[in-house]
Amino acid sequence: MTLLESVLADEMISVKKELQDAYVLGIPNELTQVIINLINNAKDAFKHNSILLREITLRVKKKGEFVIIEVSDNGGGIAKEHIEKIFEPYFTTKHKSRGTGLGLFMSRMICEQGLGGTLDVKSSKKSSIFSIKIPLDRDEEENIKRA
Ligand SMILES: Nc1ncnc2c1ncn2[C@@H]1O[C@H](COP(=O)(O)OP(=O)(O)OP(=O)(O)O)[C@@H](O)[C@H]1O
Ligand SMILES: [Mg+2]
């Protein structure tokens, strides 16, 4: 997020954070890549839909044996006829010079194969909520409790 903050400020996007510390097993860069993909998509949606009050919310919340990382935006949501397809490779609504349609396909693959979790979406007329669900690293979580 530190890396992205200046870009987001330039685009007049405010970021709300509701964070909780959590440990998971996996390659940190892979999770970072997924979050960057989701934020870039939100950035594109704000532009495409000419949204003036731009807000991204990043939530990290533990639930049982899992951590849920939510990236939501008020960028206009995803059309019903598109939402079934957005995780397919090469599905894009962007001009071909701008989007390859691989972002979400790769992101879901990383969440499933790399992190042993899932990546899903919910959308309304105004907003999109992408949620990453990853199993917690039990050993590390136990260590925190003990400390
Ligand atoms: N936050 C969002 N708001 C609205 N539409 C979205 C959002 N995220 C994804 N989409 C839709 O899902 C499509 C697929 O997204 P995906 O990231 O896979 O590809 P892309 O952004 O078009 O291209 P790229 O490969 O450069 O990421 C987008 O073209 C867009 O129509
Ligand atoms: Mg994308």
Residue 30, pLDDT > 80, answer: yes
Residue 2, pLDDT > 90, answer: no
Residue 101 exposure: Cα atoms within 13 Å on the Cβ side: 13
Nearest CA to ligand 1 atom 1: 42
Ligand 1 pocket by C-beta < 6 Å: which residues?
Answer: 37, 41-42, 45, 73, 75, 78, 82, 86, 91-94, 99-105, 128
> What pLDDT was estimated at residue 4?
86
Nearest Cα neighbor of 72 from 29, 28, 16 is 16
Residue 76, pLDDT > 90, answer: yes
> What pLDDT was estimated at residue 123?
97
Cα(18)–Cα(1) distance, integer angstroms = 13
Cα 146 to ligand 2 centroid, rounded to whole Å: 40
Cα 101 to ligand 2 centroid, rounded to whole Å: 6
Q: Tell me the domains of the chain and their CATH numbers.
A: 15-138 (3.30.565.10)
Residue 5, pLDDT > 90, answer: no
Cα 40 to ligand 2 centroid, rounded to whole Å: 6
Q: What angle do CA 132, 45, 9 make, to 5 degrees?
A: 85
pLDDT band at 34 (very low <50, low <70, confident <90, very high): very high
Cα(22)–Cα(66) distance, integer angstroms = 9
Residue 129, pLDDT > 80, answer: yes
- Strand 54-63: give its sheet, edge to edge: 13-18, 54-63, 66-73, 128-135, 118-123
Ligand nearest to C-alpha 130? 1
